[in-house]
Structure 1
Amino acid sequence: MANSPPLLKQGATIGIIAPSSYYDKEQFSTSISLLKNKGYKIVFHDQVDAQHNQFAGTPEEKLNALHDYFKNPHIDAIFTLVGGNGALHLLDKIDYNLIKQNPKILMGFSDVTALLNAISSQIGLITYHGPTIASFSKIATEDIDQCFDLLHNQTLNIPIPNDINTEGLLYGGNLSVFQALIGTDYAPPLDKDLILFIEDTNDHLSRYDRMIAHMKLAGWFKNVKAILVGEFLKSQDNPDRPFGMEIEEIIKTHTPNIPIVTDMPFGHGERLITLPVGAKVLLKNSTLSYKS
C-alpha cells in the first residue's frame, strides 16, 4: 500500500535540488518570489550551482543532494529546479531505505519522472508530478492553487470529460522518460491495477508510436485500467511524409480495449495540475479523485 509523506504546512522549509540539467537558478527568481510570498522558506542545495557538461553536476553530486535533503530534519519538502536530462543516471545508486526512513514530499515533472516513479515503485512512497521551480511562474494560477491544496490536504478532485468507473495505482509522467523505465527494476509493478498518465513535448509522432508499441510488447498494459493523456506540446511530423496519426489515435491503436481520457490539464504548457504518483486513485462520476 502506498504511503503519503507528511503534509506540507504553512511556513514549511522547501529544499531545492537539481537532479537533471544545469540552469542558472537566478533566472527563476519570479518563481522563488511566488513561493516566498506564500510563506515558505526556500533553501537551495549547493549542488544546484554545480555544472558537469549539460548536467547540474555529476551523478554523485546529484545523489548526495537528494540524500542530504531527505535526511535533513530542517527540510520539510523537496522541490526540483528544472527538468532536462540526467535523472535516470541516479536510479541504481539511490539509497531507497534512507528515503523510506525519512519520507517527505518530492515534486517535479519532465525528466524528474524517473525519480518519481522509481522511488514510489521501490518503497511505496507517494511522490508528486507537479511544477518544478522553473515552471511555477509559467503555469495557470488555478494549477498552482491545486498543487498546494493537494500537498496541504492530500485530496484530489479533478473533473474529467469521460464517465469511467475504475480505480488503480497512478503512475506515469513524461512518456519518453517513463518508457525508458520499462524493463528495469525501477518501473511500476506489472501485477497491480494501474492508471497511466502521460505527456510529452517536442518529439516526433513516429517516436511516440515506437514508445507505446514497446510498452505494449513488454506487457506493460495488461493491468492498465485507464490512460490519462495530457498535452503533447509541439509534436513533430514530416510534412513530406506525414505519419498519419495524432497521439490519441496512436495510443488507441496499441491499446484498443483500455479507456482513454484526453485533454487532461498537465504537460509542458500553461496547464500543469499536480498528481500523486503511486497513489490509489478513483475514476468515477466524471472525476479523478484521491484521498490519503
Structure 2
Amino acid sequence: MESAPLVRLAPVEEGAGVSIVAPASFARQDRIDDGVKGLQAAGFVPRFAENALARGPLFFAGTPEQRISDLHSAFADTEAHMIMALRGGYGSNYLLDRLDLELIRSHPKPFFAYSDLTGIQLHLLDKLGLPVFHGPMLAADFYLEDGVHLASFNAALAGEPYTVGAAEGLRSLRKGSASGTLYGGCLSIIVSLLGTAYEPQTEGKLLFLEDVGAKPYQIDRMLWQLRHAGKLDGVRGIVFGEMLDCASPGVGPELLEQAILSALEGIDVPVAFGLRSGHVSRQNVTLTFGVQAELEMGEETELRIFEPAVKKSENR
C-alpha cells in the first residue's frame, strides 16, 4: 500500500495556542501543572480540551467518545496551531476506528505525541500524509526541568533542517549510511497493530524503533515478529532509541545490543542505537516522521532531517 503524499503544514510561531488532549491515559495533576509551566516557558499557550483532565473509567482519560471528540475538536480549533498529547499510557487504540479522516484532512496541524499514540500518528501519516511529530508531551516531558530537547522541537516546528548525533545519545551498532523516509515509533505498539487494518507501513523506510521497560528477550521477540511479518523488508536502515530500562536485572547493557544485532542478522542495513526520542531519561528529541532523512555513521554518527514538514515561515 502506498502512503499518501506528505502534507506541508503551516509553521507554528512563538506564542501559538496548543490544544492539549488525552487520547489514552490520565496523568498526575502535579505533572500537568508543571507541564503547563514548561510549555509556557517555551513560548506557547496551552489550551485544554474539554475532557483532557478526565480520570477514568478504569485507566483511561475519559470514554472513547469523550477522547475522540476532544481529538477532533483540537484539529478543528482555529485558535490552536498545534496539538499535544497529555501523556501516553494506554487506550488510543480504541479511537482508531472512530477517526474522522476527512475532518482531520481539512484541518491539518502538528500533533506531538509518542508511546501509545504511535498507532494514531502512523495511521494519519499513512492515510492522510500528516507528518508525525514524535516528540515531547505535556505531562511526560515538559513537566521536567530537562525533559525537552528544545533545539529539535523548535526546528521541526519552524521547517528548519536539523541534525542529531552523539550529544543526543546516537551511536553506531553496525556502520554504514542510509537515506529515506523516516518512520517508526514505539516498537511494542507497532507490533500490536500487525494483522489489523491499522498495520504500519514500515517497508522501505528509514526505521526508528524505541520502547521502555522491555527485557532484551522481549525486544528480540518483537523484532522476530516484525521480520516474519515482512515489516523489515527493504528497510533502508534502523535507528533504535535510548531503550530506557530495557536491560535484564543483573546483566550488563551490552546484552540488549547483542540481542538486537542477533535478531537483525542477515538484514544488511546500518543500525544505530541510543537516540533519545520517545521514552527517554532526559531531553526528549523531536523526530519528524514522513520526511526525508539521512543516517550517516562514519567518523561521527548522525541522523540528518533535511526535508521540512512545515512551510518555511515568511518571518524567518
- Tell me whether the two structures share a fold, i.e. TM-score over 0.5: yes
Instruction: Provide the C-alpha distance between the structure 1 equivalents of 2:134 and 2:94, rounded to a whole number of angstroms.
Output: 19
- Any idea what the Cα deviations from partners look like across 1:139-189, whole Å, max 9, x if unmatched? 747712321222123422223545633212211121111211223232332
Pair 1:109 & 2:110 matched: no
2:262 maps to 253
User: What's 1:14 paired with?
Assistant: 18
Q: Partner amino acid for 1:12?
A: A
Two-structure CA RMSD over aligned residues (Å): 2.3
Q: Percent identity?
A: 27
Structure 1 residues 134-283: aligned runs within 5 Å: 134=139, 135-138=141-144, 140=146, 143-159=149-165, 161-162=171-172, 164-189=176-201, 193-235=204-246, 237=248, 246-256=255-265, 257-266=268-277, 267-283=279-295
- CA distance in 2 between counterparts of 1:154 and 1:15 reads 23
Cα distance, 1:63–1:206 mapped onto 2, change above 3 Å: same
- Residues 38-57 of structure 1, C-alpha deviations (whole Å, 9 max, x = no match): 33221101211222111001
Q: 1:33 to 1:98 in 2, by over 3 A?
A: same
Q: Given residue 138 of structure 1, which amino acid in structure 2 is its aligned partner?
A: L
The count of corresponding residues between Structure 1 and Structure 2 is 289
Letter of the 1:146 counterpart: S
Structure 1 Cα separation of the partners of residues 97 and 182 of structure 2: 22
1:131 pairs with 2:147: no
Partners of 1:184 and 1:205 lie apart in 2 by: 26
**CA distance in 2 between partners of 1:62 and 1:3 (Å):** 25
Higher deviation after alignment, 278-287 or 69-78: 278-287
- Looking at structure 1, the residues matched to 30 and 145 of structure 2 have their Cα atoms a distance apart, in angstroms, of 19
Structure 1 stretch displaced more, 20-29 or 217-226: 20-29
1:105-135 C-alpha deviation (Å, 9 max, x unpaired): 1001111222221111121110200011021
Distance verdict in 2 for CA 1:141–1:90, change over 3 Å: closer
Residue in structure 2 matched with residue 60 of structure 1 by the alignment: 65
- The alignment partner of 1:49 has SS state of coil
Q: TM-score, normalised by structure 2?
A: 0.84
Aligned equivalent of 2:85, options 80, 88, 92:
80
SS in 1 for 2:59: coil
Structure 1 pair 208–65 and aligned structure 2 pair: CA distance change class (3 A)? same
Q: Would you say 1:288 and 2:299 are equivalent positions?
A: no
CA distance in 1, matches of 2:89, 2:120: 13
SS state at 1:281 partner = strand
1:26 offset after TM fit, Å? 4.3
Residues 19 and 80 of structure 2 are in contact (CA less than 8 Å); yes or no, is this contact kept in structure 1?
A: yes
What residue in structure 1 maps to residue 314 of structure 2?
none
Aligned counterpart in structure 1 of residue 35 of structure 2, from 19, 31, 34:
31
- In structure 1, how many angstroms separate the alpha carbons of the residues matched to 2:94 and 2:29? 22
Distance, in Å, in 1 between the alignment partners of 2:145 and 2:211 is 16
The one-letter amino acid of 2:183's match is: Y
- Quick one: structure 1 residues 287 and 177, their matched pair in 2 at CA, closer, same or farther if it must change by over 3 Å? same
